Amino acid sequence: MTFEQGRPTALNREGMSKYLAAEMCQTVNDHWGIGSYDINYKSPGELIESLCSCRKVGANYLLNIGPEAQGEINPYQEQLFALIGRWMQVYAEAIYNGRPYQATGVGRSFMLKSADGRYLYIFAYDLGICGDSNVTLDGKYSGSYSFSNVSDKISSVEWMDNGEKLDFVQKEDMLCVDLRGFEYGKSLVVRVAKAEIV
């Protein structure tokens, strides 16, 4: 199953005789291959959100770039992938090890599972940036964020980017985690916390 230039949707694989693979195909601008005068590039944030949306439903992410005639990559595309690479250095474990999980979060947030934990994906526009209103675009967010249909017992939750432990409460299949916005100078588009399971 392939999805083109959008957001993939969850597949119902129940009762299938074999696993149905999924992949979302997207271009960095408006052309497959090279578009010499196509400067309508997607932002690093948009591409990171697309990658996370693919992992949410267990789909691969095929991202097309347009090399020059001699195989060179233009400087803008190089920098675009360098920024995405910085994000991947922090969250590679959650991207490569995470598998679809039945829990649902607030808005677009979601959870993935691995053999030793659960990954909570929180989109940055839900968090904001902590700091004086004269130097930040968003207000400081602080509050409880809930995930329902969590079937595992959670023992701890922490941000993967800085190791900060997060307070949480779990009752039956509901997990509520206290989140704070990014510290000033940081905005990671999608922020991931790892929850350890008992």
Helices (H), ranges, the chain: 44-56, 75-97
What's the confidence (pLDDT) of residue 142?
65
Give exposure, 55-79, as e/b (b: 16+ Cβ within 10 Å). Answer: bbbbbebebebbeeeeeeeeeebee
What's the confidence (pLDDT) of residue 112?
96
pTM of the entire predicted model? 0.87
More confident residue, 143 or 11: 143
Check if the beta carbon of residue 160 is closer than 8 Å to that of residue 166.
Answer: no
- Closest CA relative to residue 63, chosen from 26, 111, 114: 26
| CATH, domain 99-197, list 2.60.40.1180, 1.10.760.10, 3.40.50.620, 3.30.2130.10 | 2.60.40.1180
Q: Which amino acid is at 176?
A: C
CATH 2.60.40.1180, the chain: domain bounds: 99-197
Alpha-carbon span 11 to 59, nearest angstrom: 9
Taking only the tens place, the pLDDT of each residue in 74-109 is: 899 999 999 999 999 999 999 999 999 999 998 889
Q: Is the pLDDT of residue 39 over 70?
A: yes
With DSSP H G I counted as helix, E B as strand and the rest as coil, what are the percentages for the chain, rounded to 5?
20, 35, 45
Task: Name the least confident of 35-44, 120-129, 155-164.
Answer: 120-129
